[in-house]
Amino acid sequence: MSPRKRYWLMKSEPDAFSIDDLQRVGTEPWSGVRNYQARNHMRDMQVGDGVLFYHSSCAVPGIVGIATVATTAYPDPTQFERKSDYYDPKSTREQPRWDLVDVAFERKLKRVIPLEEIKQHAAALGDGFALTQRGSRLSVLPVTAAQWKLLLSLE
């Protein structure tokens, strides 16, 4: 029996990598995550899981598209590249610290669902929805099926 489909929200700064970039390349390794909790979320991902693509650190942060997890987690090669901003001298090929998944473009939303609008639905999304919690800065967040449905109903 295959595992139940899960859902995630993944943040990216559009100046670095936008939904348009993902649409252009089709599939992209989600590299450079250097937070253990976000890394662990990626380790939990399975091929076919749904991803809400979120633009952060921009004029109107919000959900801009849908993607799919295309691979299970594997070592992020940037941790081994000395010239990379994501180089980790404590990480080795034998014992890598950081993993990534490949993410595949599905579609752009008809409109951006802004964070301010999402916050208006915080009660319906529940206490466990990290995006609306104060101080939450994780770049990879779990989303329940009910939260996924509610968020996409705002489109």
pLDDT digits (tens, 9 = 90+) for 37-62: 999 999 999 999 999 999 999 999 99
pLDDT score of 135: 79
pLDDT score of 134: 81
Please give the model's pTM, rounded to 2 decimal places.
Answer: 0.95
pLDDT score of 136: 79
Provide mean pLDDT across the span 88-103.
97
Q: In angstroms, rounded to a whole number, what is the distance separating the alpha carbons of residues 99 and 70?
A: 14
The token pair at 150 is 């509610």
For domain 7-144, the question of CATH label 3.10.590.10 is answered with: yes
Provide mean pLDDT across the span 84-105.
97
pLDDT score of 2: 61
pLDDT score of 84: 96
Q: How many CB atoms lie within 10 A of CB 125?
A: 20
What is the separation of C-alpha 92 from the centre of its chain, rounded to a whole number of angstroms?
25
Q: How many CB atoms lie within 10 A of CB 41?
A: 22
